Structure 1
């Protein structure tokens, strides 16, 4: 709905400017027709263009025939009438062309999505990691190279390092240095174009996405609560018991906040609940 509103607002603004320019042209042409001095146009001269021919024809009649002088206001009105008609037609064509372009862009996007390569399989039966994986959490990057598209420049160029197990590691750098890209590569949101990522000596590109992402957690910079209950936000896959969910909320210091709500874990999970109760 937001994009539809912005599109219509932009289209109406364009049409407003087109109509304003048309009014300026019509008013200017009318003033010039009325104020055109006699004898300024040679009789019998040839001029290209429909509007110019009409103006010259009317001027010649005014300059060289006293009988047709009385009909000049009628011809002037006819010219302005046709000009107004063409103005309305131009507005209609502008609106039609803009809508057609928007619809064709939608078709182009659908075609683009149809040809997007699909994600790797969620589970690879013969390459499933052990249930206890990862037991330590050691991460090795071996000549890691990552780029967002085939024809795009390489963002991470040959990174080789080791994150020891049980340590808190901070990755710092300026904007655009590749911090988010590195995190995306760990979750395989972007597959490496070269090198390997090993977690406890298991290459993450050789296992399914579900087996990988179920074992990793992330805390985004901006918290997002989805529509649904508190339970569905904490445990979207329904894998844990109520006791496990309450323990997780207690570790996040949200147990008291959720405990005073009448619906408890079934309370709506929108941000306004936390903002109104904290």
Structure 2
């Protein structure tokens, strides 16, 4: 998909450059024709040296047009990064990394018991809930499997556990402590998650 998009970018740049060359050729033809007509009919006294200079400058204009097209296309391409960065500045901030509850529970977690009470989670305010009225109680040390079809909320439950998603309603407690009161550093430091696609970045590590 990346190669396809890059090919379209190069092809459109070449197409626009070809049109610029065509425009320069038209200017050369018109200028040469007018110079000959003016000279033959005697309408203006034109120095042949000036005509040659004008034509040579028009030929140089083709390269200038090509450079302008390439630079304008590159600027538009690079401005996408600026647009993405500007979009990131408007994202809502996550919860605090440290809270007073961290000091109140220095030995948390102790056994690892997990309890959900009427949990309701959605990805955005304008979307339907991904999880609704979820309640369960898992004792520490138990091994539990969560199964379901795609879109049933398995990943949403894990994202809520590490507070990537914040619940609209309900609570999620670990060892009796509401994880919404804990700082993100303490919570995520004590929870290990292996994602479905354990890839952080595409490409080689050299880049």
Q: Note the alpha carbon deviations across 1:84-108, whole angstroms, 9 max, x for none.
A: 5454333222222223334444444
Aligned partners of 1:145 and 1:159 also within 8 Å? no
Structure number, greater radius of gyration: 1
In structure 2, which of residues 144, 151, 160 is the aligned counterpart of residue 168 of structure 1?
A: 144
- The alignment status of 1:145 with 2:121, answered yes or no, reads yes
Unpaired runs of 5+ in structure 2? Answer: 44-51
Is residue 124 from structure 1 mapped to residue 99 from structure 2 by the alignment?
Answer: yes
Q: Distance in 1 between matches of 2:32 and 2:132?
A: 73
- SS of residue matched to 2:76: helix
Which residue number in structure 2 is paired with residue 260 of structure 1? Answer: none
Of the candidates 130, 142, 157, which is equivalent to residue 182 of structure 1? 157
Higher relative contact order (CA 8 A, sep 6+): 2
Q: 1:132 to 1:12 in 2, by over 3 A?
A: closer
The answer to whether the 8 Å contact 2:17/2:65 transfers is no
Q: After TM superposition, give the deviation of residue 187 of structure 1 in Å.
A: 0.5
- The residue aligned with 1:18 is 16
- Structure 1 gaps, min length 5: 31-49, 69-76, 227-270, 272-278
CA distance in 1, matches of 2:55, 2:12: 23
Q: 2:109 aligns with which of 120, 133, 141?
A: 133
Q: How many pairs align?
A: 190
- Tell me how far apart the structure 2 counterparts of residues 225 and 160 of structure 1 sit (CA, whole Å): 30
Matched residue of 1:140: which SS? strand
Partner of 1:90: 65
**What pairs with 1:13-92 in structure 2 (closer than 5 Å)?**
13-22=11-20, 25=22, 61=37, 84-92=59-67
1:218 corresponding residue in structure 2:
193
For the 8 Å contact 1:145–1:156, the answer to whether it is kept is yes
1:52 CA displacement = 10
- Tell me the TM-score normalised to structure 1 length: 0.49
Residues in 2 aligned to 1:51 and 1:193: alpha-carbon distance in whole angstroms: 69
- Map 1:206-245 onto structure 2 (within 5 A): 206-223=181-198
1:205 to 176, 180, 205: 180
The verdict on how the C-alpha distance between 1:120 and 1:26 changes in structure 2, with shifts beyond 3 A counting, is closer
The answer to whether the 8 Å contact 2:116/2:170 transfers is no
Task: Give the Cα–Cα distance (whole angstroms) in 2 for the partners of residues 54 and 195 of structure 1.
Answer: 78
- Cα RMSD, aligned residues only: 4.6
Aligned in 2, Cα 1:156/1:129: closer, same or farther, shift over 3 Å?
farther
Q: Could you state the TM-score of these two structures normalised by the residue count of structure 2?
A: 0.63
Shift of 1:138: 2.6
Distance 2:87 2:121 in 1: 26
Aligned-partner Cα distance in 1 for 2:117–2:32: 78
